[in-house]
Structure 1
Amino acid sequence: MHYSKLKISGDAASKLRFLRQRTGLTPNLLCRFALMASLEQGPLGDAPTPDEEGLEFNAYTLTGEYGALFAGMLRFVEEGEAPGRELDDGALLTLLRGHIHRGVGTLSVRAKSPLELLRMVPEELAT
């Protein structure tokens, strides 16, 4: 999955501002948490495509050195184990925006403090 910039939805950008105030984390780190929370919920299915009227991130700022890892997890969740079902970069970018949108919505309800975010990380990974 190749991209240089990614714009998230206006709704997600608004919720990220509140999450930043609550947690003290930057929007790019919150987007990483949001992506993981959404991927854990499974494929997006028929969820509507979010708008592109929010924050714009550079690829490296958004995923850091883990871009390939996030792309692999996205492919695993969305393509599943069905042989021959390979999504192109455009579809993957749309799904990435969708997962960030859904995940930010989840975080906005669950993460009232940095401690709440830490509780979302499995214990074996937190140590």
Structure 2
Amino acid sequence: MHYSKLRISADATSKLRSLRQRTGVTPNLLCRMAIMLSLEEGPLGGAVIPDEDGSEFNAYTLTGEYAALIAALLRFVEEGHEPEAPLEDSMLLDRLRGHIHRGVGTLSVRAKSPADILRLLPAAA
């Protein structure tokens, strides 16, 4: 999955702004957390793909050195263990935006302070 920039939904952008004010965590790190939270919930299935009217992230800013890991996890969750037909890059990018959108929604409910962000981390971390 190759991309240089990714634009997220207006709703996710608004929630990220609020989360940043409450937690002090930058939007790119919040997006990484959101992706992982959403991937834990499973594939998006027939969920509507969110709009692209919000913030734009450079690929490296969004995923950093974890781009390959995030892409592999996304493929595994969305395609399954043994996919019949791999998803095209454009569809994977839509799913990535969908996971960011869903995960930011989850984060906006769970994270009211920096301490709430710490509670999301596994105990072993």
Same fold (TM over 0.5): yes
**4+ residue segments displaced more than 2 Å:** 82-85
1:38 is aligned to 38
Identity %: 72
Structure 2 gap ranges (5+): none
Deviation at 1:118, TM superposition (A): 1.4
SS of structure 1 residue aligned to 2:6: strand
CA–CA distance in structure 2, aligned partners of residues 62 and 15 of structure 1: 16
TM-score by length of 2: 0.97
Number of corresponding residues: 125
CA distance in 2, matches of 1:60, 1:94: 18
The 1-side partners of 2:85 and 2:74 are apart by: 13
Could you give the per-residue CA deviations for residues 24-81 of structure 1, whole angstroms, max 9, x where no partner exists? 0110000000000000000001110100000000000000011000000000100012
Gaps (5+ residues) in structure 1? none
User: Normalising to structure 1: TM-score of the pair?
Assistant: 0.96
Shift of 1:123: 1.0
Indicate yes or no: 2:82 matched with 1:77: no
